A and B are shown apart, each in its own frame.
Chain A
């Protein structure tokens, strides 16, 4: 008699798998069921995603990022759009245009820029925006009928809330 392997019973395996996914897949995974949603929202997964291909991120980055809104938000609001835009901007070299191979190239400068923009976003959203309505994703918040609320990251892509 065989034992059925049910992934939901083996959350550590699930986490290991999710760790290796890209952002979009992680978002899709979060739509599967409540359990997966809870796991996918775990900030450490997103931290892993953000800094996967960068050598040892500096100490203290985690404290700062968590204070400013967490890795998931960092990815949504800054990292993903920055990489998307800059990938098109920077000459790709010998890589083909195939979407299957999507490698995340992070350099120190991109990290710094993303973190700076993230900090500006936090300042505007939480401190200048009156502290309320900051949730609902960067894109959703922007449309919230209040003309006075502005965000300086609107020039990046509209963020998709998982």
Chain B
């Protein structure tokens, strides 16, 4: 037999030294079925027939076993006749629920539908085939020469082992139209599939890292099916990650979100749906307020101006402070806008109106910059006797994409001699050099984040469709981050989150020392979180003077405050 020849061939070269052995092994690996390889079974394509025969034998034995401890195999197992594919398909279709509507974000709609059934049979595991894992053909029907050529409409990822049963595949061609019209969804046990979904996502990322795009493509299709079987947060996260992976595989990189107006809108919805941004603003404001105690001229420089949502609360707190309000100056930095409106000036004007109504002396200046690293300390016109505070909410990590960016910005901050420098960043390690690590970390991070979003949705559903829309926009906001994180590289990848520990090291070596956020900030933050419906899962933690907001046990964002040493 062909197989014996190869075996002896392998043996004879086995003595030829380690290097040669390795080469033999990799050559042998080259012929294994790729889908079974994903599951950890290395089965050569030429061996498939034999494996199938053995499975048939095993099944026959199972059906007739009489021993006490194995009799359940005969009595309780359901035996399908694998050569009768059409009736098997029929029974599956009639048993199961009709398929749900496709999620608009799912990537399966972009895939080649003609290979639907091919991949249906290709899905490994109990989810699809309760008892049998592959279709063992009857040995009589085995025609080793027929492979994928029979099924010309399939894509190239058509698994070759199905070709081992080439003869009965041709039988199934006639049943194909029937199967296509009803499109059975065959995934039943969703908990099991949740685990499988995660593993498939990781396997796909691994395949991309190894530049094995064919495998990645096959896995992406499976992810599509598995994701549909999930519900809630897991489904949404999987869909976004699948989309990001697909972009990476097919090289459809997302254009950088230059539409800052849309990003601002998304962030507004995110601000409303869940407490992360509010937590960030309130804790930073508390630190700034304490730093401004007894000061009469204050100047805040905001790296993350957006809609200016942070400043009304600070203005109000300053208006009501015991000694009266100081004169307040705000400098806001924002990206260039693509319509002709001067977005920063509009925001500044609105804040000025608010300040006027509550009798706070206010002055605003806006700077447009493509990147924070383009700024210089001299631009800010710091006046005599002014107390300066610098504020950055989710902006610093974007500088890590450019070499030297963060150092430039930190030196500018130091030149400004601020009384306090407040920073809020995501608490995650998404900037490692290895793609797989970043992928795994971000999968966990965003799963937790989406879980927390499930609970937010307005108060007890009173607000109905409006809150659903807000939730959806928040998810899109996060989805963009996921897309950038997973599918972009180099200068385009701006979502380079790093943990608080890393930022601490960086700031310490840049000559900044931490300022402890006090108990007032902690109390206010705790109270704020208690107000959120579905907010039982949020936790505020204090970490060496910094405050972290997390969902259950996982910290998600961290607020810290800094000043110049000495």
Contacts and interface: CB of A to CB of B under 8 A. Distances in A.
Interface of A: 58, 60-61, 63-64, 67-68, 81-82, 85-86, 89, 109-110, 112-113, 115-120, 122-124, 127-128, 142-143, 147-148, 150-152, 154-158
B141 to A, nearest CB: 60
Contacts of B532: 155
A63 B470 contact: no
Nearest to A90: B530
Given A115-B320, A142-B466, A156 B531 contact: yes
Contact of B358 (A63, A82, A120, A147): A63
Interface string B340-370: 0000000000110110011100000000000
Contacts of B524: 109, 112-113
A155 B320 contact: no
Contacts of A154: 272, 458-459, 463, 466-467, 470
Given A67-B358, A152-B271, A127 B313 contact: no
A67 to B, nearest CB: 4
B316 A116 contact: yes
Contacts of B466: 142-143, 147, 154
A154 B458 CA distance: 6
Contacts of B272: 150-152, 154-155
Contacts of B269: 150
A156 to B, nearest CB: 6
Interface in B391-410: none
B523 A109 contact: yes
Indicate the size class of the contact surface on chain B: 35 or more
B533 interface: yes
Nearest to A67: B357
Interface string B454-476: 00101100110011011000000
Contacts of A68: 316, 357-358
A117 B271 CA distance: 13
Nearest to B312: A123
B282 interface: yes
B462 A127 contact: no
Nearest to B271: A152
A122 B458 contact: no
B313 A116 contact: yes
B442 interface: no
Given A116-B285, A142-B466, 10 more contacts: A67-B359, A68-B357, A68-B358, A112-B524, A123-B308, A123-B354, A154-B272, A154-B466, A154-B470, A158-B462
Nearest to A58: B320
A127 B319 contact: no
Contacts of B467: 154
B268 interface: yes
A118 B268 CA distance: 17
B307 interface: yes
